[in-house]
Amino acid sequence: MARPPVSVVMPFHGGDEDARGALGALGRLQLRDGDELLVADNTPDGVMARHAAPPVTRVPAPEVASSYFARNAGADRAANEWLLFLDADTHPSASLLDDYFAEPVADDVGAVAGEVVGADGQTALAARYSRSRRHIGQADLREHPYRPMAVTASLLVRARALRELGGFLEGMRSSGDADFSWRLQDAGWKLAYTQRAVVEHHHRETMHALLRVAARYGAGRTWLQRRHPGARFPSPLRGLARCAAGVAVWTVTLQFERALFKVIDALWIVAEAAGSLAGNVAPDPGGRDRATFFIADRFPVRGNPLARVAASADPPARIEAAARPERPDREAGRGLRARYREDDGPARRLLDLAWVTARHPLRSARHGRLGGAPLRTLAPAARRLAASRAERVQALAGSAAEPDALRVAGLLGIPCTLDPGDTGPAPQAASEEAAGRR
């Protein structure tokens, strides 16, 4: 069977044993001329460098602790028009690449989701539970009530579609694959599915690890609802009521494992709810560098001079943006550290609002009465700036972020510069007084 060459991209974050397992999984694939294997090493100390050898190419990607950043880094190095994203905890079938092309892929298809099944050999309770619930099974995800979605545990993507979208969004913990699926369809591409291309997924084997996954998914769901307001997810209270009924029914009928799984369902729902409060912020490897902070609306946006101005600072400025654009210009944002208010969870916002209010009660009262973003949404940015010992805040003059920049600087009592958009001297504004007048 003829098929186009494929670049297999696997993000990696783990230890030496994990590295050996990931390379063993890639070694199972039957390759043809032109195929390539790329491992995007997202570890800070380059674990994969000790293990990767031809035909596997290691792509260093330590800058941002995010699997989506690693996937983009791997895709940037890929030579082929078709990219197959695989997770490091999957075991692909040997014929996986051929199976994806067993049927012709239409020209308007931007991505094809293969099926993901739980590994039969796992006997731990948590793994058996995940397998019974078909966690990350693609057949179920394509029936999502909002619109079809897929996970990157096994996802074939057309490189042209990925480039058109600006790649995966970066810097968050979870749900970047769902967001990519929906942005792909918004851009006019179709998301297809094939049950012939199958990988086994090794589920978490302890309850602690399982519930951490649930919390991460919960954080991702809240983030998705901010970016895609039409997305809706099941009510936790209704889910808990079904769990209670299921436990009673399966216990009375002596089906004790099914009753136990219903108990775990309830724990999963509670962990998801807790995660939805915590936020979707990925770990920040940055230190307290006293860098200038730019306040932005959406970043990085194609054609916006903010990235050029921020990069010209010494040291390069850090970015505090409200949200990511639908099609980010990753090249413009390269080398700049950015945090996003859309990632902050409700609990983080309330805690940081309490911190700002207790530390600066008069400033908080003054700036809380001003228009623009609610003070609770600006509080996490203010606290991050304080933790980094920022000495000033900047924004592009006349941009949508200008009022927020003045208010954040005013909360902290530090100067705010309104930059005209070039790299020359910018007019200075007295942040607290200027923000108080607005």
Q: Report the alpha-carbon distance of residue 181 to residue 198 in Å, rounded.
A: 19
Contacts of residue 399, defined as CB under 8 A and 6 or more positions apart, other chains included, come to: 296, 297, 306
pLDDT at residue 373, as a whole number: 84
pLDDT digits (tens, 9 = 90+) for 323-356: 999 999 998 888 888 999 999 999 999 999 999 9
Contact, 188 vs 137, CB < 8 A? no
The predicted model gives 147-166 an average pLDDT of 97
pLDDT at residue 286, as a whole number: 56
In order, the DSSP letters of 12-72 are E-S-HHHHHHHHHHHHTSPP-TT-EEEEEE--TT-GGGGT--TTEEEEE--SS--HHHHHH
pTM for the full predicted model: 0.90
pLDDT digits (tens, 9 = 90+) for 95-136: 999 999 999 999 999 999 999 999 988 999 999 999 999 999
The predicted model gives 424-433 an average pLDDT of 36
Q: By percentage, how much of the chain surpasses pLDDT 90?
A: 74
Range in 12-26, 94-108, 281-295, 306-320 with the lowest mean pLDDT? 281-295
Contacts of residue 400, defined as CB under 8 A and 6 or more positions apart, other chains included, come to: 297
- Of 193 and 371, the structure prediction assigns the larger pLDDT to 193
The predicted model gives 251-260 an average pLDDT of 96
pLDDT at residue 25, as a whole number: 95
Secondary structure of residue 270 in the 3-state scheme: helix
